[in-house]
Amino acid sequence: MPTHLEIDNTDRQILQLLLEDATLPYTEIAKRLGVSGGTIHVRMNKLVDSGIVKGTHIEIDYAKIGYDITAFLGIYLEKSEYYDQAARALERIPEVVMVHYTTGNYSMFVKIICRDTNHLRDVLHDKIQKVEGIQRTETMISLEESIQRRLHLDLLEPKK
């Protein structure tokens, strides 16, 4: 499968509307775009089948349910060959919400969400630092998230 799939302006508009509100019914999207509901349904199936759309998500303010600490970990692996194994192990830790394989100082960059600093310490000590292949970690606690957004597709140039 090619790494970049072709989408047209209608696909782009459908995706943008859903990025703004993933709960929009297909009939409402069709009405806004001046096409049939069947068109939206067929195009959404194509976008899902191609892997462009990976699912729908809900955003939660974790602090409001008692998870006050967001931290980012720079992880140093003993060897780069440990990445797949470490990623699978990190996936089994519920507090880990994001894992990236990176260039630069760290082998991996990870986002975790915890209740408080004691919970963070336990997750680091009892879970993450026990993952085979992880040599060491550096922890950065987020004091505030100022921007969180999705890429605005209307502002992107179509692939030529």
Residue 70 lies in a domain: yes
pLDDT along the chain (160 residues), means of 10: 73 90 92 94 92 86 95 96 96 97 95 98 97 96 90 64
In this structure, are 131 and 106 located in the same domain?
Answer: yes
Q: What DSSP letter does each residue of the chain carry, written as one string?
A: --SS----HHHHHHHHHHHH-TT--HHHHHHHHTS-HHHHHHHHHHHHHTTS---------GGGGT--EEEEEEEEESSGGGHHHHHHHHHTSTTEEEEEE-SSS-SEEEEEEESSHHHHHHIIIIIGGGSTTEEEEEEEE-S---------GGGSPPP-
Residue 157 lies in a domain: no
pLDDT of residue 4: 67
Residue 160 lies in a domain: no
Report which of 92, 87, 85 is spatially closest to residue 108, judged by C-alpha positions.
87
Residue 119 lies in a domain: yes
In this structure, are 77 and 125 located in the same domain?
Answer: yes
pLDDT of residue 1: 44
pLDDT of residue 25: 92
Residue 41's CATH number: 1.10.10.10
Instruction: Say if residues 10 and 35 touch (Cβ distance below 8 Å).
Output: yes
Cβ partners under 8 Å of residue 82, min gap 6: 132, 133, 134
Residue 83 CB neighbours (<10 A): 16
